[in-house]
Structure 1
Amino acid sequence: MRLPISAALSKQGHRFLTSVATTDDPETTARLIRKFVASSSKSVALDAISHLVALINTSFSRLSPIAFPLYYEINKASCFNWNAKLIADVIASLYNHQRFNEAQTLILEEETKLRSKECAICNFYCNLMDSHSKHQLKQGILDSYERIKQLPSHSSNPPSSLLLLFPLSLIWFSLEPQSFIGRKRRESDKEG
């Protein structure tokens, strides 16, 4: 099967995804993932996973569920630092494919890593809301918003940037963001 090379995908990443696309065996897929990560630079591995979770429709779009095992294999590599936005994109992709347990695992791992950095956790959830909105995942947006509200310093006063992001995310769903903003302002006035 000959697939066109995407401009943003490296040749090594393309070979890897083509190999995975031609197998239906989970063990073979796992072996290909391990081999790819072991032989790839960080940038090539990130390029491949970014391609898997991208919203553009490519010949590899059906392979996006392997983003989770690829993430875990890359995560095992030493000295590898994840971009919070990419993690949010992987989680949203998992939500989109209804792989909620795997998404929850990544969310909990990220929370654990950022446990003492409340601002970083809030930023992670804002990235996650943005990723969910790109996939038009209303429940993911709402879940992320609720998690931010549970943070001690944000339980009664979500950050103003979040008040702007949340209604913008909901525009995808034809909800009335103005009524949301008005309700949040009234709640803030009552508390203040």
Structure 2
Amino acid sequence: MSESTREQLLLTAQRLFAERGFYGASIAAIATELGLTKQALLHHFGNKEKLYGQVLQHISENLSEITDSILAKSLAPAERLETLVVAQYRDQMDNPHAARLIMRELLDNEERAAQAGSWYLRSYLELLVATAQALDPAGKLDDARALALVYQLLGAAHYFAVSGPTLTQTFGAQRYAQTRSAYEHELRVLIRTRVEAIA
């Protein structure tokens, strides 16, 4: 299978898992969407769980590429944290199916929570926690507070990223577009306010 074909398979599966959830998206539906037989899709990925895992891994690899490019720059801890959170926000706005799938994974994964120790976003969260802790050289920002801060900032980014269709229907396309234009600035203000509270 060529890399471009695999990419297309994963993006299509990502969209269907995002729209229908892990339990609602069948292998048959994904195969039909791709113009494949169910057997052909299973030949490449084994089973639904493995396909889903590959989709999540694909999202994780995309995040890693984004974070690696930021970490390669010489940034102060506050600027690094802001840049990482805003970069994730921008990526989620550009890739709404990935953003929705992350939300579904958080909501739907009770049965898979036993494997959460190896959750595909764990290393990313740990990186952000370490970045947050670097804001406080005195060491008062313990793991719990740092994770709470990171989750608050990611939540602010993620919640808006998955809300586009609902906000558009609720407030109209023009108001949503105006809010979207203002949102990144407000997100940056939130990040800076929280960072200043630590210093």
* Structure number with higher relative contact order (C-alpha < 8 Å, ≥ 6 residues apart): 2
* Bigger proportion of residues as helix: 2
